Amino acid sequence: MSAKFPLEIKTFTKEEQMEHEKVYKTSEFFDDFSRVGPKKYTVMRYEKDAANIYNMKLCSSNIIVNSFPRSGTTWTQELVWLIANDFDFATAKNVPLHVRFPHLEFAPEILNELSNSPKLSSQFVMTHIPLSLLPPTLLDTCKVVYVARDPRDVALSNYHLERELCRLQENVKFEEYFEVFIANLRVYCPYFEHVKEAWALRYHPNMLFIFYEHLSRDLKSVACRICDFFGKKYNEQQLDQLCDHLRFVNFKKNPAVTRQQQYNQQQEMCYFPMLYEYAQESHGRDWEWGEWNEWDQAVKEEAEDTTSMRHEEGEGVVPKQKNEMEEDQRK
């Protein structure tokens, strides 16, 4: 701990590292794990940039999308960017999303800038870093959109992603992966604490909390909420065009989202060396709400028990039904 970063960072214990390596490979791109803060968030290669991120200077024009990985983040980024930029579909189709809306932890140009100056230069930033590890003045300064998803679907989606990116040991079954996930050894876990922090702030005027399930079920109504959040006017034609642009069948083929443009230009990926190949097969894959129902019964029961227990303790977030969401909007 220091005056610049008040939270304690502890490297994985030998036991934690051994449990982690039962599921995960160790490589030059995937190492240096630690726990941070009282909630013991798992982070990777974090200590060098922790203070710079925690103390970065924001302004009212900054827009942050925050989430736990595989919660509908990319979908939300594109939706937020288009609305904030007055439905500029031409730019959205030609400029890669990671350029328009960089991922803070994997944007070396931003991290290098922050090491020299605390001012955040990019207007739009996405991050999976929990709110408690971001600047304490975040919501008093700029707008944040947080997207959450059913934790059972999140776990399954992360398993598919990390398997495709060859991060997992050979032949790791989902049951084994899920044990690591609920033991909070996956980066950015604990999941429930991550979501709770945003959920507790959902009535702040600069926070908009949305659900992946609502995006899937009624994209247009969520788009209207985001328009209202940013004070943007819109017409039905713009909303229809927006929804068509964001339909999975179109979205997953958009080279500005899959990073095909960057791959074609550089023949390598800036952040994840195998992401292009993964994107061609399944990035933006049309997962359905409740795909966790395909889990083996024993795993499903354990996940349901965990989710139910957390929710009863006030630690879980279950997607609200439409009438509950409308009631929140009236408050």
pLDDT tens column, 98-131: 999 999 998 999 999 999 999 998 999 999 999 9
For every one of its 331 residues, what pLDDT tens digit does the chain have, with 9 covering 90 and above? 566 999 999 999 999 999 999 999 987 667 889 999 999 999 999 999 999 999 999 999 999 999 999 999 999 999 999 999 999 999 999 999 999 999 999 899 999 999 999 999 899 999 999 999 999 999 999 999 999 998 888 999 999 989 988 889 999 999 999 999 999 999 999 999 999 999 999 999 999 999 998 999 999 999 999 999 999 999 999 999 999 999 877 877 788 886 544 433 333 333 333 333 333 344 444 444 455 555 555 555 555 554 554 444 344 444 443 444 444 444 4
Residue 265 neighbours by CB distance under 10 Å: 9
Please report the pLDDT score of residue 248 as a whole number.
79
Q: Contact at 8 Å (CB) between 37 and 44?
A: no
Confirm whether 4 is domain-assigned: no
Which helix (H) or strand (E) element contains residue 10? strand 9-11
* DSSP string for residues in 160-186: HHHHHTT-BPTT--HHHHHHHHHTT-S
* DSSP string for residues in 36-102: ETTTTEEEES-HHHHHHHHT-B--TT-EEEEE-TTSSHHHHHHHHHHHHTTS-HHHHHHS-HHHHS-
Of the residues 128, 194, 214, 283, which is catalytic? Answer: 128
> Scanning the structure block, which residue is given the tokens 């997962």?
287
Q: Supply the range of the domain harboring residue 100.
A: 9-316
Residue 269 token pair: 């990926």
Confirm whether 103 is domain-assigned: yes
* Residue count of the chain: 331
Confirm whether 147 is domain-assigned: yes
Residue 209 token pair: 């909390």
Confirm whether 217 is domain-assigned: yes
Confirm whether 97 is domain-assigned: yes
Please report the pLDDT score of residue 294 as a whole number.
55
Confirm whether 33 is domain-assigned: yes
Q: Which of 163, 96, 157, 181 is nearest to 285 (CA)?
A: 157
Which region, left, alpha or beta, applies to residue 72 given φ > 0 means left and ψ of -120 to 50 means alpha?
A: left
pLDDT tens digits for range 65-96: 999 999 999 999 999 999 999 999 999 999 99
Distance CA 40, CA 249 (A): 38
Please report the pLDDT score of residue 295 as a whole number.
53
Which region, left, alpha or beta, applies to residue 208 given φ > 0 means left and ψ of -120 to 50 means alpha?
A: beta
Query: What is residue 204's three-state secondary structure?
Result: coil
Please report the pLDDT score of residue 266 as a whole number.
38
Query: What is residue 307's three-state secondary structure?
Result: helix
Please report the pLDDT score of residue 249 as a whole number.
79
Question: Is there a catalytic annotation at residue 160?
Answer: no
CATH code, domain carrying 225 = 3.40.50.300
Confirm whether 330 is domain-assigned: no
Surface-to-core class of residue 41, CB atoms within 10 Å of its CB (0-12 exposed, 13-18 middle, 19+ buried): buried
- Report the domain count for the chain: 1
Confirm whether 329 is domain-assigned: no
